[in-house]
Amino acid sequence: MARTARTVVPQLPHHIVQRGNRKQNVFFSDSDRYEYLSLIRKSALEEDVIFISWCLMDNHVHLVAVPGKGDSFARCFRKAHSLYSRNVNRQNEWSGHLWQYRFSSSPLGPSYLHNAVRYVEQNPVRAGIVGEAWEYRWSSAAYHTGRKRSDPLISVDSDQYLSIDDWEGFLTIEPDAEVLLRIRKAAARNRPAARQWFISAMKSRNPDLSGSRTHHS
């Protein structure tokens, strides 16, 4: 069966998901997580990728990010994930694929950006790992709520895409189940999560959006 083409729109926020092969773990220690963040940061700087939010779970990664160019995501994640996989295999004397073959990419319309960021940073809460999003060490939530002075991936450049005055309040809002389902489906299918008017506007900027099925409210 043919794979669904990945949709990437330069200068627009996207929800990115990368899972472990067969949904198996990709992180086995804190040092693994530190290494991954270091590799992603370096690759993102080289390939013009700006991060808005992120969360590392044991067997998958969630990111909200902006590509500077159409191939920025592909180049960034190809380099970082390949190096990370190689290092993990070497350390554990393994072979084979660590990551699921492709990462998924879902362009986000204005009405979905806030919900996608909340979805990403609330992931550990939904999984029952922590009671509040900012208690989780491996996401951008602690930085966004002022509990950390710096973040390994987030820079001031992200403010041009999303500015929230009360992050703690933002992250305690109960998510809408229907909206979460749309965000998940859009990411799984490499389709935009946006309203129809936004998709129509984007088609003039990116012909690849033609034929995309929208997830709108």
Q: What is the mean pLDDT of each run of 10 residues along the chain (217 residues)?
A: 71 96 94 98 98 98 97 96 94 85 91 95 97 98 97 93 95 90 93 83 66 43
Phi, psi (deg, nearest 5) at residue 182: -65, -40
Tell me how far apart the alpha carbons of residues 88 and 97 are, in angstroms, rounded to a whole number. Answer: 10
- Domain boundaries along the sequence of the chain: 14-200
In this structure, which CATH number among 3.30.70.1290, 3.20.20.80, 2.60.40.60, 3.90.1170.50 belongs to the domain 14-200? 3.30.70.1290
Place of tokens 């995501």: 73
Q: Would you state the pLDDT for residue 195?
A: 82
Q: Is the dihedral of CA 166, 169, 171, 173 positive or negative?
A: negative
In the prediction, which pLDDT does 20 show?
Answer: 95
The predicted pLDDT at position 29 comes to 96
Residue 44 confidence (pLDDT): 98
Determine contact, residues 68/49, Cβ cutoff 8 Å. yes
Q: Which residues does 198 contact at the CB level (< 8 Å), separation at least 6?
A: 109, 110, 111, 192
pTM for the whole structure: 0.90
The CA distance from 192 to 96, in Å, is 31
> What is the amino acid identity at position 186?
A
Q: Tell me, what's the pLDDT at 208?
A: 59
Cα torsion 120, 124, 126, 130 to 10°: value is -140
Per-residue CA distances from 208 to 6, 110, 184 (Å): 9, 19, 21
What pLDDT score does 156 carry?
Answer: 86
